[in-house]
Amino acid sequence: MSDGSADLVISLRDVHKAYGSGAGLTPVLRGVSLDLEKGEIVALVGQSGSGKSTLLNICGGLDTADKGSVKVLGLDYGKASDRELAELRNGKIGFVFQAFNLLDHLTCLGNVMLPSSFSPRRGKAERKNVEERATEALRRVGLADLANRHPMELSGGQKQRVAIARALYHRPVLLLCDEPTGNLDTETGREVIELFSDINQKDGVTMLIVTHEQRVSSAAGRVVRIEDGSIIEGDAVLHGSGVMPKVKADAEVAS
């Protein structure tokens, strides 16, 4: 297609979102437009409370826009049925959050197999298939050896890897990550970012990563910033130089 829109994984146009009503109305997004092409890693930065999670949740169909157009992998959220949205969310999009959200009573393998429970349960062969797929996902994040451990027995970095394996279970085209290194120390966070880069490069998974951290921003091909409810593209400044402008560094410290 001449306009290249066939390659867009995310396409947002003039998206508005406010919370509350009347005198308590809080506008969060005030006309956000953003495109992510297939294979991109985009870092989404901005101060605390600027609407990063709101934007990510809208992209993932976990929250709805008040106004504007949201298209993800060709599906127009404004026109899609609940079923189409659920299929997209459960099949083509993986989510990774700051809190790892693992279930303590399940093993690593059990946690990674969880997404399969959203599909109807079938016979023994299917169960084996589910296990193989989950094992493969654990292998992908370097944790096949820990399949039978419980989350309590893992480090923070290992827990986040399990959460990433769970997000990869359905072999998603798009990963939406909300401060995925927020609970990790510097070195562990770096390893997780390297894992995201590797998954992006080898498996071609497109990623939108909310972060406060320069480390993620420098692994990204493009950095976009939310400020006053709008998106400011930062790649012209950031890309290539690897140097964050001073104003950004200050904002990141403050947030």
Q: Where does this chain bind ligand ADP (CB under 6 A)?
A: 19, 26, 28, 46, 48-54
Structure tokens at 26: 């809080």
Would you state the structure tokens that stand for residue 192, as one six-digit string?
Answer: 């997780």
CB of 12 to ligand ADP, least distance (A): 14
The answer to whether residues 168 and 94 touch, using CB atoms and an 8 Å cutoff, is yes
109 versus 177: smaller Cβ distance to ligand ADP: 177
Residues sharing a CB contact under 8 Å with residue 71, sequence separation 6 or more, in sequence order: 8, 10, 11, 12, 77
Task: Please answer whether residues 223 and 252 qualify as being in contact, where contact means their C-beta atoms are separated by less than 8 angstroms.
Answer: no
111 binds, among ligand ADP, Mg ion, none (CB under 5 to 8 A by kind): none
Q: x/- string (CB under 5 A) for Mg ion, residues 6-45? A: ----------------------------------------
Residues 48-87: x where in contact with Mg ion by CB under 5 A, - otherwise, as a string? -----x----------------------------------
Q: Smallest distance, Å, CB 237 to ligand ADP?
A: 20
User: Which of 51, 234 has the CB closer to Mg ion?
Assistant: 51
Using the contact rule CB under 5 A, the part of the chain among 47-55, 72-80, 181-189, 235-243 near Mg ion is: 47-55
Least Cβ distance, residue 53 to Mg ion (angstroms): 3
End-to-end, the C-alpha distance of the chain in Å comes to: 41
14: left (phi over 0), alpha (psi -120 to 50) or beta: left
DSSP secondary structure of 236-249: HHHTTT----HHHH
Residues 83-142 binding Mg ion (CB under 5 A) are none
Tell me the C-alpha distance between 107 and 199, whole Å: 23
Closest CB 128 distance from Mg ion, rounded Å:
39
* Minimum distance, C-beta of residue 209 to ligand ADP, in the bound complex (Å): 12
- HSE (side-chain half, CA atoms, 13 Å) at 170: 20
Q: Which CB, 135 or 217, lies closer to ligand ADP? A: 217
181 binds Mg ion (CB under 5 A): no
48 versus 119: smaller Cβ distance to Mg ion: 48
Binding partner of 46, given ligand ADP, Mg ion, none, CB within 5-8 angstroms per partner class: ligand ADP
Burial 217-254 (b: 16+ CB within 10 A, else e): bbbbebbbbbeebebeebeebbeeeeebeeebeebbee
Cα 155 → chain centroid: 21
Binding status of residue 211 toward Mg ion by CB under 5 A: no
User: Quick one: 37 or 63, whose CB is closer to Mg ion?
Assistant: 63
Where along the sequence are the contacts to Mg ion (CB under 5 A)?
53
